[in-house]
């Protein structure tokens, strides 16, 4: 026996002051945005930390004679 299909969705927003149950629209656009945000977070926590090098130092120009 499985679960019946969900017809309503929500998140529990937990704060120091308490918690609230907030309704959430779950459609294709929302799922796509969530997956994009998750991919960005994973990139930020991994490859982004090593993808940017040290600052480029300026090479002094030779003075014209």
Looking at the structure of the chain, the number of domains it has is 1
pLDDT of the residue at 65: 60
Are the CB atoms for 41 and 33 separated by under 8 Å? no
C-alpha to C-alpha distance for 29 and 51, rounded to whole angstroms: 30
Q: Is the pTM of this model over 0.75?
A: no
* Domain range enclosing 44: 25-50
Are the CB atoms for 41 and 32 separated by under 8 Å? no
* pLDDT digits 0-9 by tens, 5-40: 989 999 999 999 999 999 999 999 999 999 999 999
Domain contains 33: yes
Domain contains 17: no
pLDDT band at residue 64 using 50, 70 and 90 as cut-offs: low
C-alpha to C-alpha distance for 24 and 11, rounded to whole angstroms: 7
């Amino acid at each position: 026996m499985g679960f019946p299909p969900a017809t309503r969705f929500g998140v529990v927003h937990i704060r120091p002051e308490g918690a609230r149950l907030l309704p959430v629209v779950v459609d294709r656009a929302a799922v796509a945005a969530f997956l994009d945000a998750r991919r960005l977070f994973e990139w930020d926590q991994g490859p982004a930390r090593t993808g940017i090098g040290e600052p480029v130092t300026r090479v002094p120009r030779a003075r014209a004679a």
